[in-house]
Amino acid sequence: MRMILGLAACVVVALAGALAFSPRSAPSLRPTDVPVDRLRIDGIKSTAAGLVLAGELGQIRYSTDQGASWHAASVTPQRQALITRLVFADSHHGLALGHEGWILRSTDGGRNWREAAFTDSDGQPLMDAARLPTGDWLAVGAFGRVLRSGDGGKTWASQSIGAPGDWHLNAIAASPDRRQWLIVGEAGSLLRSTDAGTHWQVIEPFYSGSLYGAVGLGGDIWVAYGMRGQVFRSSDGGQHWSPVRLPLSESLYAGALAPDGTLLLAGQGGVVLGSRDGGLSFQVLRDGGQENLTDLLVDSTGALLLASDAGLRRLPLPSRAQAASGETAPMSSQEIR
């Protein structure tokens, strides 16, 4: 009996060992099963490929069905550095900018990306870029870093534009007719160009805090926004600025024009503000939440897509009547997965 029990035990052990080391096939994941509801997202754009977003660990995703599902874009090589901004000059040609001076290029709307620049030691983050009317790309970033490319973003070289000190440069923006250009940054830094970015004029600081972006509204009207809910308006092409009183004091990190001309600003604590009078006054369209909104986009359905450090949100854009009545969007906005 003892011999039989011993043999049985040996058989069980042998079978267990064979099972433990036998090859197994894990169920394959569908390529669209890429969650974006908790991904830190720093940029979202609409391109020829559909919707494209990017953020933490060098992740770039695109959706061909208005965000119902998402595919991982091809990134070569994948450095896993934080992507800080997505910029598209048209529906096909774009850049992804990030930490370590990382620059990626796409020529197919964001499905495929190839590296154009990367500095693995002492690389300073790049914060924004734009394609100038000359066809050159200009990129700006931390500690006053400015890069220029004359070959479509394939190669880059440092350029001096006369920025004061080594303040961080956070954004570069163009007027709708691309006649005027602004660069805004830390400590109220603001530079202005009226010759396609060839020469830049330093504007006397009118604010001591950081400016995170600017939006050209047409003509000579500009709105710049930044820390602690500070918003400024210029009606002479960015030469002189006046403060705009806001109903909230949260920092503002993103701005855009809706198709109907509404100026939208978004930022800390999930706040979204709207102006329909050229930036003279703002109404609260959304208030509350823990996330910080980093970019925004009105999609083809008229919904407002909000990129944040806690995923992607979709909100109905309030009508003029709702905004005028002070009605804000619901706090539990739909998450996109």
Query: What does the pLDDT read at residue 320?
Result: 59
Query: What does the pLDDT read at residue 29?
Result: 34
Taking only the tens place, the pLDDT of each residue in 90-129 is 999 999 999 999 999 999 999 999 999 999 876 789 999 9
Sheet with 283-286, side-by-side order of all strands: 252-257, 263-267, 272-275, 283-286
Residue 83 has pLDDT above 70, yes or no: yes
Query: What does the pLDDT read at residue 37?
Result: 77
Are 281 and 265 in contact by the 8 Å Cβ rule? The answer is: no
Taking only the tens place, the pLDDT of each residue in 230-246 is 999 999 999 999 999 99
Measured CA to CA, the distance from residue 239 to residue 236 in angstroms comes to: 6
Taking only the tens place, the pLDDT of each residue in 258-291 is 999 999 999 999 999 999 999 999 999 998 888 9
Query: What does the pLDDT read at residue 324?
Result: 56
What are the residue ranges spanned by the domains of the chain?
256-337
Average pLDDT over residues 200-208: 96
Strands (E) located in 125-251: 126-131, 137-141, 146-149, 157-158, 169-174, 181-185, 190-193, 201-202, 211-218, 221-226, 231-234, 242-244
Average pLDDT over residues 56-81: 96
Query: What does the pLDDT read at residue 8?
Result: 43
Residue 3 has pLDDT above 50, yes or no: no
Query: What does the pLDDT read at residue 323?
Result: 55
Taking only the tens place, the pLDDT of each residue in 157-169 is 999 999 888 899 9
Among 43, 51, 112, 49, CA closest to 77: 112
- How many other β-carbons are positioned within 10 Å of the β-carbon of residue 92? 14
In the chain, pLDDT over 90 holds for what percent of residues?
76
Residue 305 has pLDDT above 70, yes or no: yes
- How many other β-carbons are positioned within 10 Å of the β-carbon of residue 322? 15
Residue 337 has pLDDT above 80, yes or no: no
The H-assigned helical ranges of the chain are 2-21, 320-325
Residue 187 has pLDDT above 80, yes or no: yes
Averaged pLDDT score across all residues of the chain: 87
Query: What does the pLDDT read at residue 317?
Result: 82
CATH 3.30.70 fits 256-337, yes or no: no
Taking only the tens place, the pLDDT of each residue in 120-158 is 876 789 999 999 999 999 999 999 999 999 999 999 999
Query: What does the pLDDT read at residue 321?
Result: 55
Residue 11 has pLDDT above 50, yes or no: no
